[in-house]
Amino acid sequence: EVQLVESGGGLVKPGGSLRLSCAASGFNLDEYTINWVRQAPGKGLEWVSSISSRSSYIFYADSVKGRFTISRDNAESSVFLQMNSLRAEDTARYYCVREEDFSAYGDSWGPGILVTVSS
């Protein structure tokens, strides 16, 4: 069974940092692109970042560029999102989303992890 499980969320003050992890199981992570998608409370979906299977292609939304860094360790079946200089508007549930390379859609989503940025 395909599983994606996020961890590392929580409450952080503005300007602080968090590192989210996405643990993958039930499939070969090194054959898939992984995206992070977030959803602010009561709002719609917003794409955040993506990393291709071999880390050859990495992209960010303008809203997080320069503050967030995506990375992966295929040997450990994990993908990470380092989030620095956090702002109140980064408060959201963050989903780890699997994408077959270059298909450009998410075929499997993790349950998400909540990140709250507040003083």
DSSP annotation of 89 reads G
Residue count at the site for other proteins (CB under 8 A)? 20
| Helix, strand, coil abundance in the chain, percent, nearest 5 | 10, 50, 40
Residue with Cβ nearer other proteins (35 or 53)? 35
Of the candidate residues 22, 68, 110, 115, the single one contacting other proteins (CB under 8 A): 110
Pattern of binders to other proteins over 43-82, x per CB under 8 A?
Answer: -xxxx--x--------x-xx--------------------
If binding is defined by CB under 8 A, does position 35 make contact with other proteins? yes
If binding is defined by CB under 8 A, does position 9 make contact with other proteins? no
User: Rg (Cα) of the chain, in Å, rounded?
Assistant: 13
Residue with Cβ nearer other proteins (12 or 81)? 81
Which range in 15-23, 24-32, 42-50, 75-83 contacts other proteins by CB under 8 A? 42-50
**Contact, 105 vs 37, CB < 8 A?**
no
Of the candidate residues 51, 112, 115, 117, the single one contacting other proteins (CB under 8 A): 112
d(CA 104, CA 66) in angstroms, rounded, equals 23
d(CA 75, CA 29) in angstroms, rounded, equals 9
d(CA 6, CA 23) in angstroms, rounded, equals 6
Of the candidate residues 25, 76, 107, 118, the single one contacting other proteins (CB under 8 A): 107
